[in-house]
A and B are shown apart, each in its own frame.
Chain A
Amino acid sequence: MPLLEIKNLSVSIPTPDGDVHAVRAVSLDIERGEIHGVIGESGCGKTMTGMAALGLVPKGARIQADRFHFDGEDLRENAVRLRGRRIGLISQDPAAALNPVLSIASQMDDVIRAHRDMPRRARRAEAAGLLAATGLPDPERVLRSYPHQLSGGMQQRVVIAQALATGADFLIADEPTTALDVSVGAQVLALLRKLVAERGLTVLMITHDMDVIAEACDRATVLYAGRSIETGPVDDVLQRPGHPYTRALLAALPDAAPHAARLSAIEGSIPAPRSTIAGCAFAPRCPQAMPVCAAEPPPERGNDGRRWLCHLPEGTR
């Protein structure tokens, strides 16, 4: 049984201008011990999928799913209890994720105290140990610091140490390297890989960067307009993409292209989040689109761990 099982998840947010379909139909199976990448353009529902698993969707949002379970427990009822105990969050901008007016020591202590019954001095030692485990060279100095006194890479390590302090075994990492320099980002990815191996963690790695998928992930799921359109082992997805959108993503990847330009290099833009989509969401931009594509939802292709949604028969390129 996968640790995280999501089948046909949708998240709709009511607004004065109509419902925003932040997530339309995401299916995701994450096995214990893997780093599962979720990739897609900005606005395709990556963050909202993670937030739904944490029970942190905006007020009034509707969550529906055929299955939405973590370790056998329904997340629709148990997300609030599971977050901060079994499920942790590492967010995009570590500077924003840390409280600017509290010292690192007090922020670490708060987390440890919330989860474990320990005397004060033991908590301090525990905090220092966790910071050291994330590769911070001088934990005592970091504990005495305020967030603005640390570099982005150090801040992200503190955020990871906080997540470890909760005892969570499943981490949702939402673009953990986007706000960091490339080399620092690579160090953070290496750290996550090491922690997964050492502590038996499982990670949902949200990113818009194919390099992160290639570097750090075991399996990957591609999202488009709130739908998971292809999933499989990273090597398969990268080398034998089934879905035309995945192929377009990879084609737009000349190593010389600047980061931000990569995903937007595909012509056209994603459908408006308030629109209803009858057929394949990618049809307006797809070079291989057929009349049936815009009218009917595409069927599932592939097998077991290797699936994609497309009207094109398997083997067609």
Chain B
Amino acid sequence: MELLRYILRRMLLSAFVVVGVTFLVFVVAQVVPSDPAALYAGPRPTAEQIEKARQELNLDAPLQARFATFATAMASGDFGISYKSRRLIAEDLRAYLPATLELAVFSTGLALLIGIPLGVVAAAHQGRWADRLGSFGSIAAVAMPTFFLAMILQLVFAQWLGILPLSGRLSREIAISAPLQMITGFNLIDAILAGRFDVFGDALAHLILPALTLASYPAGVAMRLTRSAMIEILERRHIVAARALGLSEPRILFGHALPNAMGPALTVIGLSFAYALTGAVLVEIIFAWPGLGRYVSEAILAKDFPVIAAVTMVVTICYVVMNLLIDIAQALVDPRVALS
């Protein structure tokens, strides 16, 4: 009951955030110093062409009416057409969003899988060499510039060892000769659904290096946060009590202390996911990953506002949904959360 009320409250809050961002995007579109009609009308437009574009885009209608149109369009998933390419934005998103989401989810999972256990081990060995080594590693992981790490990984795994592909999302042979039918847009899932395990392996191999690159920073943060949370928790009375009950040390660390540290660890998921969603631009360019980052960076250079607005909305919604899931997970892990 408490849990249900808590979830409803969180959902309401999420809805407010989405509406707020919609409003913000619209306002920004009004104040950006560029004329959408001129952009829409094509290269070197005449005054007549601009006027026609202005009418087509409904730019002369009153502000409230235009916000209403904008908001309804956003809500129905109709993001309009790109000023630049004249393509339907929704169609572009259908191709690019899954690529970015796949990378973001995979790298976030990787970051947690690496960062949390290392944080636990470091806390258990506080002050000793394992802890020092872990601290050094986490600082290096956080401080390492993305492009530099990407370069090293490409050099080692693609160039020298030759065990992983340099870039792209699928091998050219597969993409051309036996393309995967798009169902969810996530290559890993589509490959399983189609029973194509060769494609699954190929997609996974392409995913590893960009995901590792993206995971480095959040893994370092996850490790630091888990370590400090664990150190505080390991001092608590119920841990002393668990020792007095003769429980084994691994059981105490992972079964009793870690669940108490899941709060901070789950917070990292949100952080990590947001970072992967928006911070992926550079990584997507380096690894020729056909995702939102590349798409939106081109739109920004072209002042293609509908595209920027659409990507902003989509990223916001992804982030809000992710946070909602995290909040719910947090309440499930710690039943006291729903009470506060």
Contact = CB atoms under 8 A, between A and B. Distances in A.
Given A84-B247, A101-B335, A110-B251, A89 B241 contact: yes
Given A99-B260, A110-B255, A146-B335, A56 B244 contact: yes
Interface string B219-260: 000000000000000001110111111111001000110011
A202 to B, nearest CB: 16
Interface string A133-175: 0000000000000101000000000010011011000000000
A290 interface: no
Contacts of A99: 238, 242, 256, 259-260
Interface in A67-117: 83-85, 87-89, 91, 93, 96-102, 110-111, 114-115
Interface of A: 54, 56, 83-85, 87-89, 91, 93, 96-102, 110-111, 114-115, 146, 148, 159, 162-163, 165-166
Given A101-B335, A146-B335, A162 B238 contact: no
Contacts of A84: 243-247
Main secondary structure of the interface of B (DSSP, over half): helix
Scoring A97, A98, A111, A165 by chain B CB atoms within 10 A of each residue's CB, the highest score goes to A97
Main secondary structure of the interface of A (DSSP, over half): mixed
A159 B241 CA distance: 9
Given A115-B246, A146-B335, A163-B245, 8 more contacts: A83-B243, A83-B244, A91-B241, A100-B238, A114-B251, A148-B336, A159-B241, A162-B241
Contacts of A146: 335-336
Contacts of A83: 243-244, 246
Given A100-B260, A101-B259, A148-B336, A111 B241 contact: no
Scoring A83, A84, A101, A162 by chain B CB atoms within 10 A of each residue's CB, the highest score goes to A101
B334 interface: yes
A111 B247 contact: yes
B244 A100 contact: no
A280 to B, nearest CB: 33
B180 interface: no
Nearest to A80: B243
Nearest to B247: A114
A83 B260 CA distance: 24
Contacts of A115: 246
A87 B236 CA distance: 20
B326 interface: no
B238 A97 contact: yes
A183 B245 CA distance: 27
A89 B244 contact: yes
Scoring B251, B336, B339 by chain A CB atoms within 10 A of each residue's CB, the highest score goes to B336
Contact of B334 (A56, A93, A101, A159): A101
Contacts of A88: 244-245
Interface of B: 236-238, 240-248, 251, 255-256, 259-260, 262, 333-336, 339
Contacts of A96: 236-238
Nearest to A86: B246
Contact of A166 (B237, B245, B334, B339): B245
Scoring B236, B238, B259 by chain A CB atoms within 10 A of each residue's CB, the highest score goes to B238
A159 to B, nearest CB: 7
Contacts of B241: 89, 91, 97-98, 159, 162
A83 to B, nearest CB: 5
A148 B340 CA distance: 13
Nearest to A145: B335
Given A96-B236, A148-B335, A110 B260 contact: no
Nearest to B258: A101
Nearest to B127: A59
B266 to A, nearest CB: 12
A250 B251 CA distance: 46
Contacts of B242: 99, 110
Given A101-B260, A101-B334, A110 B238 contact: no
Contacts of B255: 110
A98 B244 CA distance: 12
Nearest to A54: B244
Contacts of B256: 99, 102, 110
B253 to A, nearest CB: 13
A85 B238 contact: no
B245 A114 contact: yes
Contacts of B334: 100-101
A146 B338 CA distance: 13
Contacts of B260: 99-101
A98 B243 contact: no
A166 B335 contact: no
Nearest to B262: A101
- Which 4 residue pairs are nearest across A and B when measured between Cβ atoms? A84-B246, A89-B244, A96-B237, A97-B241
21 contacts: A54-B243, A83-B244, A84-B246, A85-B246, A89-B244, A89-B245, A91-B240, A99-B242, A99-B256, A99-B259, A99-B260, A100-B260, A110-B242, A110-B251, A111-B246, A111-B247, A114-B251, A148-B335, A148-B336, A162-B245, A166-B246
A102 B259 contact: yes
A190 to B, nearest CB: 23
B149 to A, nearest CB: 35
Contact of A101 (B245, B248, B333): B333
Nearest to A83: B244
Nearest to A96: B237
Contacts of A100: 238, 260, 334, 336
